[in-house]
Structure 1
Amino acid sequence: MLKPLLLLLAMLLSFGAPGPAAAEPRLLMAEEVGCPWCARWNREIAPIYANTPEGRAAPLVRFDIHGPKPDVEFARSVRFTPTFILVDEGRELSRIEGYPGEDFFWGLLARMLVEARIPLEADS
């Protein structure tokens, strides 16, 4: 009985191992508890982000500015929250420091994706 359980556990763990998908573009969000601009972004953008062409092209990965940092080659240190960092293949491509509001955020993010030559899929 123990051997089949160990085999099942090994199989499940291997499926969770990071693979080529980890090298895909991501939008990192540096945040911290008590950040009012992070809270505003969470109200205005977070509920829809994953369902947008931008969210599909660069899925969101959050991290606490005071906690462990993602394994990324940052262009410079992260000092403000929120900071949105577009990364690909473990390297920072560009960033937005602060949250300038919904209208400006989408425009700035679109420009970052175009400059990085990350294609957007049409809405389904």
Structure 2
Amino acid sequence: MRVPAFLLGLILAMLPAAPRAAELLMVERHGCHWCDRWNAEIGPIYPKTDESLRAPLRRAQIHELPGDIAFTSRPVFTPTFVLIDDGRELGRIEGYAGDEFFWFLLGQLLDAHPAATALP
């Protein structure tokens, strides 16, 4: 039996929304050397990692921060990586000192918030 598209859309709209994962907000600045380095070293592989499944990447410029996030304090350094869940900051990593250090700190940050960052 074929279901008309409008009916399928109506049915899908009535289903409960899938739980939203936490997200990792990268606060960056144009011309930031360390942001460029992160983009070159981590940027291409981040979407392919388990960490990305636990906290998909979102980006914002430091002077154009999203209004839907309650930061514990305004980010000052770039890059700053802020773990966000349900519009509130859970923790952050300030700066970028290389790929190994980033993955280590990100793992600690995600593991500190298992309810928000569990794999789907």
Shift of 1:21: 6.2
Which one of the candidate residues 34, 54, 58 is aligned to 1:37? Answer: 34
Matches within 5 A, 1:79-98: 79-98=76-95
Which residue of structure 2 lines up, in the alignment, with residue 53 of structure 1?
Answer: 50
1:51-94 superposed Cα distances (whole Å, 9 cap, x missing partner):
00001110000000012424111011111100000010111000
Change (3 A) 1:40 1:46: same
Q: Normalised by the size of structure 1, how large is the TM-score?
A: 0.77
Which residue of structure 2 lines up, in the alignment, with residue 3 of structure 1?
Answer: none
Q: Normalised by the size of structure 2, how large is the TM-score?
A: 0.79
Q: Give the unaligned 5+ runs of structure 2.
A: 1-8
Which one of the candidate residues 71, 75, 91 is aligned to 1:74? Answer: 71
Aligned-pair identity (%): 49
In 1, the alpha carbon distance for the partners of 2:20 and 2:43 equals: 23
> Following superposition, which runs of at least 4 residues in structure 1 exceed 6 angstroms of deviation?
none
In 1, the alpha carbon distance for the partners of 2:21 and 2:50 equals: 15
Shift of 1:23: 4.4
Shift of 1:20: 5.0
- Tell me the matched-pair count: 105
Q: CA RMSD in A?
A: 2.1
